[in-house]
Chains A and B, each alone.
Chain A
Amino acid sequence: QSALTQPASVSGSPGQPITISCTGTSSDVGADNLVSWYQQHPGKAPKLMIYDVSERPSGVSDRFFGSKAGNTASLTISGLQSEDEADYYCSSYTSTKTFVFGTGTKVTVL
C-alpha cells in the first residue's frame, strides 16, 4: 500500500489558480472514481473538499475543482485566497479493498 504521489509543495499568488496532482496506479486512482481530497490546517482535523473525483460537499467553495485522467487525479483551486493555505491530501479506494492517502501537499499563498 504505497502512498499516492503528490508534490511536496505548491505556491501561488492571491487570485491565481493552482493545481495539485495525485498519481497512483491502475489498482487505486485509475481503478474507479473513488478519489477524495482533504484540506488540513495546522493543528486541525482534515476537512473533505472533494469526493468521487469531482463532487463537492455542500459548503465547500466552488473554487475547488476535482478531476482525473488515467492514474492521476488533480485538485485545482481557482482564485487562490489566503485561507486556502493548508496541507492537502488525496485519497483513493483500491482494488484490494483498502484505502490509500497521498503524500500530502503544502499550499502556500505568496
Chain B
Amino acid sequence: EVQLVESGGGSVQPGGSLRLSCAASGFTFRNFWMYWVRQAPGKGLVWVSRLKTDGTYTEYADSVKGRFTISRDNGKNTLYLQMESLRTEDTAVYYCVRGGMGNTGLDHWGQGTLVTVSS
C-alpha cells in the first residue's frame, strides 16, 4: 500500500523557517516525480513545487520561488520542502503528493501537515 506521511509542520513567526519531510513507502520512490501542494484553511488547492525522479530538476510556483527548496533522498525514500522567509500567506496544510498517473496526474496524497505563520 502506498503511504505518504508528512511531518515538520507547526507554528512559526513571519520571516522564520521550517523544513517539511515526507516519508514514502509501498512503492519504488526513486521512480516517481514528487510534488508539494498546499491548501490554506477553507480555501482551494495551490501547487507549490515538483521534483524529478533523480532530484536534478525542479519547478516552483512564482509565490514561493527563491524562498522554498524541494529536495529528496532516494536512499531514505523521503521528500523535503525547506521553507525560508515565511509569510503569513504561507499558512496552509501542505500535502506531499506522488505524480504517478500519465504525465501529470497526482495519484497518491499524504494526509498533510499544517504550517501556521503568525506573529
- Looking at the complex, which one of A34, A38, A98 makes contact with B45 (CB distance below 8 Å)? A38
Contact (Cβ within 8 A) A51 B62: no
Interface residue range, chain A: 20 to 34
Contact (Cβ within 8 A) B44 A51: no
Q: List chain B residues, Cβ under 8 A from A100.
A: 47
Contact (Cβ within 8 A) B44 A101: yes
Number of interface residues of B (CB under 8 A): 24
Contact (Cβ within 8 A) A57 B107: yes
Q: Does A46 contact B (CB under 8 A)?
A: yes
Contact (Cβ within 8 A) B104 A57: no
Q: Does B102 contact A (CB under 8 A)?
A: yes
Contact (Cβ within 8 A) A52 B110: no
Q: Does A48 contact B (CB under 8 A)?
A: yes
Q: Which of A55, A93, A98 is most buried by chain B, counting CB atoms within 10 A of its CB?
A: A98
Contact (Cβ within 8 A) B106 A38: yes
| Closest beta carbon of chain B to A50's beta carbon, Å | 8
Identify which of residues 20-65 in chain A touch chain B, using a CB-to-CB cut-off of 8 Å.
34, 36, 38, 40, 45-48, 51-52, 55, 57
Q: List chain A residues, Cβ under 8 A from B61.
A: 1, 98-99
Q: 29 A-B pairs, CB-CB below 8 angstroms?
A: A36-B104, A40-B45, A45-B95, A45-B109, A45-B111, A46-B37, A46-B95, A47-B109, A48-B101, A48-B106, A51-B102, A51-B105, A51-B107, A52-B105, A55-B101, A89-B44, A91-B45, A91-B104, A93-B103, A97-B59, A98-B47, A98-B59, A98-B60, A98-B61, A99-B50, A101-B37, A101-B44, A102-B44, A104-B45
| Closest beta carbon of chain B to A93's beta carbon, Å | 5
Q: List chain B residues, Cβ under 8 A from A48.
A: 101, 105-107
